[in-house]
């Protein structure tokens, strides 16, 4: 794969096993995007897309990444072989990236690595949420970052359950469910609506531009070779109402996997005659919350498909055996263990099955299926009744998974206040720490669950607790602009001037990320406006570097030093000029910033603006420089 060096703005090629750590950019294409040939011939600097590339590199470099992958310029689109390889590898490349940046070009904002307030309707209406390729990029990324902070908002916008946004195995999502996520998305080329979904299904297939809708048929054929599927649809739009359809566990499947031959599709389904001249073909999937139901295809008596029932409803199957749980038990004895069934039942919230299992087999509630306990699954899913049942049957209140998350931590992460309250009443440890020493309060704050955070604080949670990475709750809440969480923590006595190991204060982070309202709140509570990190960078310096005009203006009004430089002599004006933030440059100049101030290498703001090609900033600095010289000569 090719990667771009974030400082040199040059491309380097690596073998898959040789690739260094890298960041990756997700965005929608605009006019004059930079291609590989533009980088190699230096034509790139003349194109509009160059600024986006520079900003992405700047963000990655600031996070200590030497390399970044950007789809516009990191592979040769004129080579059909390289194009096919890249499109088949793209999902994996997003998975393997250390950090993931999403750039929403149509949402007013100043930095590619920041997330705007989700209350802004422009965020929810962004074109990025409607494009096919950004879907797989969003799901593939394992570098959570602010994606976890926005889990609920992104889930509401996209229809993707939060667990899959945070890395849950896609095999837990049915084919129809995954297709539903793409049902309202578009691509510029007809074939790409199929190609952009390959990663979601683990499919690899050659690119044949010009085949039109045949590409989507090929995709479905490949899916059926890998996944239990159904009869072919014409596009993802056929699955628009299938977001709540989930697969039935293979242990409980009634059909055999489909096969393909030169004569067509061959599959075995359980059929039921409904007495009206139609036959129902029962599929191995069901609707969330309707555990005794199955999705079915409605066929004419000659078995010709006429419509997919899952678009309008589901068909209930009557069980002749006394209770659904008995059928589960019968399958259980043949194929698996009691423990895995209990965990499966907790995952699917099958209360009746759990009750009968516990009555018949006793307290197996601490068992694990792979890495998750039944109690943690129920707590994480907000299933208070199941949590209560498992506790009454002897489940371990402090049982932990591979991340050392307790049931209380799981409930706090997902904002389930009723479950949190139940667990606390049962004596759950409010200070239980996971592998990174992060407490339930830390998780509640990170995921914006204000009510849960307040509940934990009322029950004695340590407001100053820090994880192994020296991240305390206030530091994290401020960094991500969680005003309500910041307010709750401050009201409960957290130290507003606390620093982590590198010297970053809550004010430093919120200034960097551009959350004006949180800056105001921290300043009102006594935050140190001149606090420096180990790089001698103050909040104003960081706000200017990232183009956060409103924050820059607020800090200046509160008395921040406009001339404060970092350890290399770079002033806020120099950083704003280097990054092309003309409104911030104008504001700093109005507040008396020295246009001639230079860093250790004697490079001025004008030098940097010229070097980076920020024409409007160069013009503004020239004018200011001329004004200063005129005043000096006249005096």
**What pLDDT shows up at residue 327?**
35
Q: What is the CATH number of domain 562-635?
A: 1.25.40.20
Q: Which residues contact 467 (CB under 8 A, 6 or more apart)?
A: 433, 436, 437, 438, 442
**What pLDDT shows up at residue 115?**
44
**What pLDDT shows up at residue 20?**
92
Q: Which two tokens stand for residue 245?
A: 């359809």
Distances (CA, A) of 365 to 338, 395, 400: 10, 5, 13
- What helix, strand, coil percent values describe the chain, rounded to 5? 45, 10, 45
Q: What is the DSSP string of 218-266?
A: HHHHHHHHHS---S--SSGGGGTT-TTEEEPPGGG--SEEEEEETTEEE
**What pLDDT shows up at residue 602?**
83
Domain boundaries, the chain: 2-168, 245-316, 323-452, 562-635
**What pLDDT shows up at residue 149?**
59
**What pLDDT shows up at residue 627?**
65
**pTM, full prediction:** 0.43
Where residue 30 falls (left for φ over 0; alpha for ψ -120 to 50; beta otherwise) is beta
Angle between the N-to-C axes of helices 483-491 and 450-458, in degrees from 0 to 180, rounded to the nearest 10: 10
Q: Which helix (H) or strand (E) holds 279?
A: strand 278-282
Fold of the domain built from segment(s) 323-452: 1.25.40
**What pLDDT shows up at residue 12?**
92
Tell me if 323-452 shares its fold with 562-635.
Answer: yes
Q: Which helix (H) or strand (E) holds 278?
A: strand 278-282
pLDDT averaged over 10-residue windows placed end to end, the chain, 635 residues: 92 86 92 90 88 92 93 90 89 90 80 46 86 91 59 84 81 85 91 93 88 89 64 70 75 62 59 55 72 61 34 28 33 40 58 61 44 72 84 82 86 89 92 86 80 84 60 61 69 65 68 76 78 77 86 87 86 91 91 85 87 89 72 54
Q: Which residues are 279's β-sheet partners? A: 273, 299
């Amino acid at each position: 794969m090719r990667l771009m060096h974030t400082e040199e703005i040059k491309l380097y090629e690596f073998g898959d096993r040789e690739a260094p750590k890298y960041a990756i950019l997700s965005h929608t294409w605009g006019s004059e995007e930079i291609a590989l040939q533009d980088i190699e011939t230096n034509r790139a600097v003349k194109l509009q897309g160059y600024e986006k590339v520079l900003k992405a590199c700047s963000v990655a470099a600031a996070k200590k990444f030497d390399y970044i992958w950007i789809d516009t310029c990191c592979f040769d689109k004129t080579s059909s072989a390289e194009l096919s390889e890249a499109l088949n590898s793209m999902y994996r490349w997003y998975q393997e990236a250390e950090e993931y940046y999403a750039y929403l070009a149509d949402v007013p904002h100043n930095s590619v690595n920041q997330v705007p307030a989700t209350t802004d309707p422009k965020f929810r209406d962004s074109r990025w949420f409607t494009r096919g390729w950004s879907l797989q990029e969003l799901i593939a990324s394992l570098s959570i970052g602010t994606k976890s902070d926005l889990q609920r908002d992104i889930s509401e916008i996209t229809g993707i359950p939060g667990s899959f946004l945070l890395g849950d195995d896609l095999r837990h999502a049915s084919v129809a469910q995954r297709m539903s996520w793409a049902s309202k998305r578009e691509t510029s080329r007809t074939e790409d609506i199929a190609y952009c979904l390959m990663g979601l299904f683990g499919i690899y297939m050659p690119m044949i531009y010009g085949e039109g809708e045949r590409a989507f048929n090929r995709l479905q054929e490949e899916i059926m070779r890998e996944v239990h599927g159904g009869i072919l649809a014409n596009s993802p739009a056929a699955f628009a109402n299938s977001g709540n359809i989930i697969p039935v566990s293979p242990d409980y499947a009634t059909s055999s996997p489909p096969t393909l031959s030169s004569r067509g599709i061959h599959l075995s389904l359980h059929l039921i005659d409904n007495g009206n001249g139609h036959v129902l073909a029962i599929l191995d999937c069901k609707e969330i919350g309707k555990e005794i139901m199955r999705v079915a295809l409605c066929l004419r008596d000659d078995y010709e498909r006429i419509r997919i029932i899952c678009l309008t409803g589901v068909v209930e199957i009557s069980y002749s055996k006394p209770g659904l749980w008995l059928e589960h038990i019968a399958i259980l004895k043949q194929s698996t263990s009691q423990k895995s069934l209990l965990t499966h039942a907790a995952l699917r919230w099958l209360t009746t099955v759990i009750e009968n299992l516990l009555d018949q087999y006793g307290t197996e509630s601490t068992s694990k299926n792979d890495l998750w306990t039944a109690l943690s699954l129920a707590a994480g899913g907000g299933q208070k009744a199941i949590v209560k049942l498992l506790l009454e049957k002897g489940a371990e209140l402090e049982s932990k998974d591979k991340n050392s998350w307790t049931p209380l931590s799981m409930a706090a992460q997902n904002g389930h206040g009723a479950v949190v309250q139940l667990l606390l009443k049962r004596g759950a440890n409010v200070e239980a720490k996971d592998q990174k020493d992060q407490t339930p309060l830390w998780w509640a704050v990170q995921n914006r669950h204000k009510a849960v955070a307040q509940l934990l604080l009322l029950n004695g949670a340590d407001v100053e607790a820090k994880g192994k990475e020296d991240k305390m709750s206030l530091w994290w809440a401020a960094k991500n602009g969680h005003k309500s969480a910041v307010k709750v923590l401050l009201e409960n006595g957290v130290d507003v001037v606390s620093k982590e190991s590198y010297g970053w204060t809550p004010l430093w982070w919120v200034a960097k990320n551009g959350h004006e309202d949180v800056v105001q709140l921290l300043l009102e509570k006594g935050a140190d406006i001149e606090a420096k990190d180990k790089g001698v960078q103050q909040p104003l310096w960081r706000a200017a570097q990232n183009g956060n005009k409103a924050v820059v203006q607020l800090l200046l009004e509160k008395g921040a030093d406009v001339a404060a430089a970092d350890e290399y002599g770079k002033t806020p004006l120099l950083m704003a000029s280097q990054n092309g933030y003309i409104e911030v440059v104008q504001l700093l100049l109005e507040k008396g910033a020295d246009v001639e101030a230079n860093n250790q290498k004697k490079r001025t703001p004008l030098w940097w603006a010229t070097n980076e090609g920020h024409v409007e900033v160069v013009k503004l600095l020239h004018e200011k420089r001329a004004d200063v010289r005129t005043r000096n000569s006249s005096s």
